[in-house]
Amino acid sequence: MPIFLDTGNIDEIEKFMKMGIIRGVTTNPTILVKSSVTGGMDGVKQRAIEIAKLIDPYPLSVEVTNNDPDGMINQAREFSQWANNINIKITIHGPDGELDNLEAVHKLENEYNIRINVTAMMSAQQCFLASLAGATFVSLFGGRVNNMGYNCIDEIQKIRLLIDNFDLKSKIIIGSTREVLNVVEWLAAGAHIVTVTPHLLEGMIIHPYSKETVQQFLDDAKKI
């Protein structure tokens, strides 16, 4: 399942599902705001259920909206009931470095059998610990890593080697994708999944020389 679409826009999801080229959808509060979701948690629930139904059986990631330990667990349990193919995003730690999150991840995966996507990670070491905690998905923000002056390919290769060597179940998601080049480059480096925006996915399909060639074929066809 190499490509997940990073959006909350129903029309965009439907368009690429019809092409058969996406294998899941990821959202977070920022994405939902950009996708014009309103109405508080009722609005989030309605949009999540709509997306989950549209992409079933592929997974949809929905993120918890607070960092309180009990709140994360309660929201995760609630959100996971909206559809069978919903998994829950939880950040690697809190905004001030609070360490409750991995305990919540471990509990949700092992006691409640809820699939967790640990997100907002910037290093292989964070991904490795989230994987040890039992996360189904570990999300490294590749574009942000590169913006910090490091090449995220090194981190991808390290975490893939650790997951394979220690026979861990986690699938590696690389997000924060900034360039069309990133997608194939990061998959080739060992990522299981790369998240892309609709704009980047269109950029993967459309090539100026392909447009030129198609136009030549059409022009020559008229001469036959």
Contact 17, 54 (CB under 8 A): yes
Specify whether 89 is catalytic. Answer: yes
CA distance 31 to 98: 24
Which residues are 117's β-sheet partners? 89, 137
CA distance 98 to 26: 24
Nearest to 141 by CA among 97, 207, 186: 186
Cis, bond preceding 29 (omega within 30 deg of 0):
no
Catalytic residue among 18, 34, 45, 89: 89
Contact 141, 121 (CB under 8 A): yes
Instruction: Please list the active-site residues.
Output: 89
